[in-house]
Amino acid sequence: MPKFEDVSFQGKCDVCGQETEVVVAGSACGPVSFSYCRRCLEGRLEPYPFMAACIACAGQWPDDVNPGFRELVRRNLSFHGKTEKEFAADVERAIQVKTQIDMLPAHEGNP
């Protein structure tokens, strides 16, 4: 695995928003890549909206989420300053948005 400083470049961290040296790496939440600063990469932190959307695909927080992802989410919640109650509400909102998108006819953007 390459060293952070060997593959980093000046950019914006997708997790904390800081303009600094970042690397592009795969997310622990799903098959997508983000820019991570060293602190967020080493802390295994994820962009909050994406994490909520990923969990919404699994179901309700926390009952439908496996223990590994529950641990990942809880570690991230403390970084993002969110409570589990706030996260559960954000997951519920993401489920409702996904349901509305799923109900769109194909010509309105639904494949």
Residue number with CB closer to Zn ion (77 or 88): 77
Q: By rule CB under 5 A, what count of residues binds Zn ion?
A: 5
Looking up tokens 């409702």 gives 96
Confirm or reject binding of residue 40 to Zn ion (CB under 5 A): yes
Q: Closest approach of Cβ 2 to Zn ion, in Å?
A: 19
Confirm or reject binding of residue 25 to Zn ion (CB under 5 A): no
Confirm or reject binding of residue 22 to Zn ion (CB under 5 A): no
Which of 4, 16, 89, 92 is in the footprint of Zn ion by CB under 5 A? 16
* Cα→Cα distances 26→32, 33, 45, 60, 109, Å: 6, 4, 12, 24, 26
Q: Closest approach of Cβ 100 to Zn ion, in Å?
A: 31
Confirm or reject binding of residue 56 to Zn ion (CB under 5 A): no
Measured CA to CA, the distance from residue 53 to residue 49 in angstroms comes to 6
Give the 3-state DSSP-derived string for 6-47, with helices as H, strands as E and coil as C: HHCEEEECCCCCCEEEEEEEECCCCCCEEEEEHHHHHCCCCC
Residue number with CB closer to Zn ion (34 or 61): 34
Which of 15, 51, 53, 72 is in the footprint of Zn ion by CB under 5 A? 15
